[in-house]
Amino acid sequence: MEFVQPIRDKRKIDNMKKILLSTNIRDYCLFTLGINSGLRISDLLFLKISDVLNNTGKIRERITIRERKTNKTKNFPIADIAQKAILEYLKTRTYQIDEPLFISRKKNKGIRALQRDQAYKIINNAARAVGIREKIGTHTLRKTFGYHAFKKGITIEVIQKLFNHSASSITLRYIGITQDDLDQVYLDLNL
- Active-site annotation, residues: 40, 69, 139, 142, 165, 174
| CA torsion, ordered 159, 20, 53, 83, to nearest 10 deg | 60
**Separation between Cα atoms, residue 107 and residue 90, nearest integer Å:** 18
| CA torsion, ordered 70, 120, 76, 20, to nearest 10 deg | 180
**Separation between Cα atoms, residue 180 and residue 22, nearest integer Å:** 35
DSSP 3-state percent helix, strand, coil across the chain (nearest 5): 55, 10, 35
Collapsing DSSP states into helix, strand and coil, what is residue 65? strand
Alpha helices for 38-178 (secondary structure H): 41-46, 49-52, 80-91, 116-129, 139-151, 156-163, 168-174
- Backbone phi, then psi, for 175, in 5-degree steps? -85, 5
